[in-house]
Structure 1
Amino acid sequence: MSEHSGPELIPASDACALLGISTATLYAYVSRGQLSSRPGPDARSRMYLRAEVERLARRKQAGRGAARGAAQSLDRGLPVLETRISLIRPDAPYYRGRSAVTAARSGATLEDIARLLWEGEEQDPFAASVPDVWPERIAPLALDSSLPPLERAMACLPLLALEHRQSHNAAAPVRREVAAMLLRQNAALLVGTQPDARPVHRLLADHWQPGDAGFAEVVRSALVLCADHELNVSAFAARVVASTGAHLHATVCAGLAAMSGPRHGGATARAYALLCDAEASGAPAGFIAERWRRGDEQPGFNHVLYPDGDPRGAEVLRQLRALRGDCPRMRHVETVLATTAEHSGQHPNIDGLLAAICYVYALPATHALVMFASARLTGWLAHALEQQALGTLIRPRARYSGRAPGDHD
């Protein structure tokens, strides 16, 4: 395959051979959303992405022996540890048994979800006062608008730990207050402003779209829906760091570092680019159809854990339709959604809808990542608190597959 060609497509016979299944089972995998298919060279044939098929084949091996199962489990396979924080079900992620979608619809704020996830509902960790200016040595970085949001936050948070004398305090109430302070400070760092005691959704909305109550509501809902998602890669990274006994500021930096990767936090930027590229084409429906035909990725669509559609994305979409359904930018989003559904059967995920919020309100793509990072810090802190309460170190073993000792040419 040349460096300029698209993803490799294979026929059904090759897909069945790689998976060790019949054609009927292959079609069942497609209908359940475990695989996607593209039109083949003739009207009756279908083609499959080799990368998707090989990934599914690897997952099928999980559980076929303890060592092999453990090796495969880190790629959304077998569970690797227990948590009481969140549960993923087809209708919604659940935060300590409560539906995130229901919480978003009922008007919950990110702070409400933080109290729930941190088991701090009896003690309000947000009642403590918040300094309204950055320390002198941090201010130049914290207010530098030329720095990218994640990099600005990652540069400042370790310095803030030095300013906080309680950063290593093990008492649960104190740790929750540190977590609450971090939630507010991180949001302020991500938008490059001074910290204050406003709810996070108000701080973001007032900075980007002052005076627009509807926009603030969409941001509030999006933050609640993104607060945690079980052992996603950034939560796992933060939890591993927390297991060493590191302070909460360090665990947050680990989460931000993991989110900075293009395969995690970068998904919102790719989804935003898809909307812009479709608009620039002058024929968005044809543009999307052609992308799908040649096997290109559809960023902002599909989610392996929600084969019937991401309920978080569906809830944000419902709100956007109610608030901005008649505006030209929202009609363009609807065209992209409808064309993708027609050709692939895929539904938008939360990455795509965070990008859609920014696109519909004519905001930069980076704001979608800021919403994601502001919200997800809540879950990172919950995992850090839970892991440190256990007092155990996360140290998995590797299955060596290299040259054997003494095996030299």
Structure 2
Amino acid sequence: MIRTADTQSASFLSARQVCAALDIQPATLYSYVSRGLIRSEETKSTRRERRYAAEDVARLIAKKQNRRDPDVTAAKAARESLKWGVPVMESTLTLIQDGRVYYRGRDAVELARENSFEDVAMVLWSDPSPLSQGRENKTDVFALGRTWAVIPTPWSEISGHMTIIDRMIDTLTGIEQRMGEVPMEIEGARLIWSLTLTAGTPYLDAMPLLTWVMQDQIAPEEPIAELLARMWSLEDARLIDAALILCADHELNASAFAVRVAASTDADLPHALIAGLATLSGGKHGGATAHTRALITHIESPEQARGLVTAVLNRGERVPGFGHHLYPHGDPRGRALLQMIRDAYRDSDVIAVVDAICAAMLDLTGLHPNIDLALSALELAADLPESSALALFALGRSAGWIAHAMEQYAEGTLIRPRAAYVGKMPSPPASLR
């Protein structure tokens, strides 16, 4: 039982009490607060101390006890599986193990260094993959997909504010279903090409996309990363490829699960991807890139980084772009992409600020940067259009969504979990009273 001092409200604890109750160090407490696991607020003390929610501390203690209890019921285990818990379904696509990510047994970071996005999409869609069989199959699939891609509605014809996710959903909504008419891989390539054209369309000022297509200035065999680099006036497409590949899949994340649920109902592939896009837009998923971008742009120089990070932590707020439940020692995707960006933009003021933020967070919380921070760093260091970080996340992840949908279609079963009712129980019939 947690005891509080007589002078303190029973609903709050001091930092010393929290550390004693959880058997942790102050740096770990900072980490818990930054990740939103423990709420805090300033006290009225002249020493500017903070106090911490006893309810949150009690919840963490209960979680620790549950992990030690071998008699946890199956029902409770099932509930916990929805919150970073035990695996709930089988998949041959992505393995997260020992701080690394593997696509069908291949290290995702190594794939990002040596292959194109199309190569890796085919790894996820095919078993065995075309990387072990030559690349003709990949070229044919994406060339046909490009030929049948849908040209998105020009931004000038759209009224009101639409985010890049809204635009992608709009594109998929207008796609005529061709499942059953062509192989699933070609249908997937068609959707990815359509989303690629959507991602780049708003930024073609000198030459509208439709003109490019009508004049055959986008060749069917042109790599997706090179086309995006051309649209965004970026000289080197390798960072685009790497970002897309590192975002391609991440096991049973929220958006992949949404796609699988939709596919399990026999929803067609465009609508399954719409479920993924809607889920990705949330601030706790792909939408987090907007928060990491704001963090970086708010700091004008590396010297300001530690002060701002400290202020955010002292308010009990989470610093976006750091930490991941599945990677206690750091997100390998974020680490790899950040290093590639450093190599490409060694003298960038943006990278100097990002590195200062990372150093402050590591010192104060022990947390490492994740893929959200890396994508925003790429957007800012390469001077890409605003929201291109989210566009890259969505476009890259679409390859994984398509793979999950394929796997779910093959499974042929409906995903329909049960809910544990915890509300008011019905009254007994009057005849039994």
CA spacing shift, 1:251–1:308, aligned 2, 3 Å: same
1:220 Cα deviation after fit:
1.1
Counterpart of 1:130? 146
Counterpart of 2:377? 356
Contact in 2 for aligned 1:288/1:340 (Cα 8 Å)? yes
1:320 Cα deviation after fit:
1.3
Counterpart of 1:167? 179
1:283 Cα deviation after fit:
2.6
Partner secondary structure for residue 102 of structure 2: strand
CA spacing shift, 1:51–1:227, aligned 2, 3 Å: farther
Q: For 2:247 and 2:239, how far apart are their aligned partners in 1?
A: 12
Amino acid at match of 1:102: E
Is 1:111 aligned to 2:125, yes or no? Answer: no
Counterpart of 2:389? 368
1:15 Cα deviation after fit:
6.4
CA spacing shift, 1:54–1:271, aligned 2, 3 Å: farther
Q: For 1:51 and 1:263, how far apart are their aligned partners in 2?
A: 23
Amino acid at match of 1:174: P
Paired residues, number: 381
Q: For 2:412 and 2:26, how far apart are their aligned partners in 1?
A: 44
Q: Aligned to 2:94, which of 86, 89, 107?
A: 86
Is 1:199 aligned to 2:223, yes or no? Answer: yes
Q: Could you list the per-position Cα deviations for residues 323-345 of structure 1 after superposition, in whole angstroms to 9, with x for gaps in the alignment?
A: 11212222122222222222222
1:383 Cα deviation after fit:
0.4
Is 1:297 aligned to 2:346, yes or no? Answer: no
Is 1:11 aligned to 2:15, yes or no? Answer: yes
Ranges in structure 1 where 5+ consecutive residues have no aligned partner: 1-7
CA spacing shift, 1:393–1:15, aligned 2, 3 Å: farther
Contact in 1 for aligned 2:302/2:357 (Cα 8 Å)? no
Counterpart of 1:99? 107
Contact in 2 for aligned 1:157/1:249 (Cα 8 Å)? yes
Counterpart of 1:182? 191
Contact in 2 for aligned 1:49/1:295 (Cα 8 Å)? no
Q: Counterparts of 1:232-311 in structure 2 under 5 Å?
A: 232-279=253-300, 283-311=304-332
Is 1:325 aligned to 2:346, yes or no? Answer: yes
1:92 Cα deviation after fit:
2.0
Contact in 2 for aligned 1:29/1:35 (Cα 8 Å)? no
Q: Could you list the per-position Cα deviations for residues 345-404 of structure 1 after superposition, in whole angstroms to 9, with x for gaps in the alignment?
A: 211100001011112123344110001001000100000000110111111111111111
Counterpart of 1:69? 77
1:285 Cα deviation after fit:
2.8
CA spacing shift, 1:52–1:349, aligned 2, 3 Å: farther
Amino acid at match of 2:83: D
Partner secondary structure for residue 87 of structure 1: strand
CA spacing shift, 1:404–1:274, aligned 2, 3 Å: same
Q: Could you list the per-position Cα deviations for residues 220-263 of structure 1 after superposition, in whole angstroms to 9, with x for gaps in the alignment?
A: 11111110000110000001100111111111111001011121
Counterpart of 1:5? none
Amino acid at match of 1:305: L
Is 1:149 aligned to 2:164, yes or no? Answer: yes
Contact in 2 for aligned 1:59/1:72 (Cα 8 Å)? no
Counterpart of 1:3? none
Contact in 2 for aligned 1:240/1:394 (Cα 8 Å)? yes
Partner secondary structure for residue 283 of structure 1: helix
Contact in 1 for aligned 2:15/2:26 (Cα 8 Å)? no
Q: For 1:281 and 1:331, how far apart are their aligned partners in 2?
A: 6
Cα RMSD after superposing both structures: 3.4
Contact in 2 for aligned 1:142/1:153 (Cα 8 Å)? no
TM-score normalized by the length of structure 1: 0.82
The structure with the larger Rg is: 2
Deviates more, 1:355-364 or 1:305-314: 355-364
Question: What is the percentage of aligned positions where both structures have the same residue?
Answer: 36
Partner secondary structure for residue 82 of structure 2: coil
Partner secondary structure for residue 183 of structure 2: helix
TM-score normalized by the length of structure 2: 0.78
Ranges in structure 2 where 5+ consecutive residues have no aligned partner: 1-11, 202-208
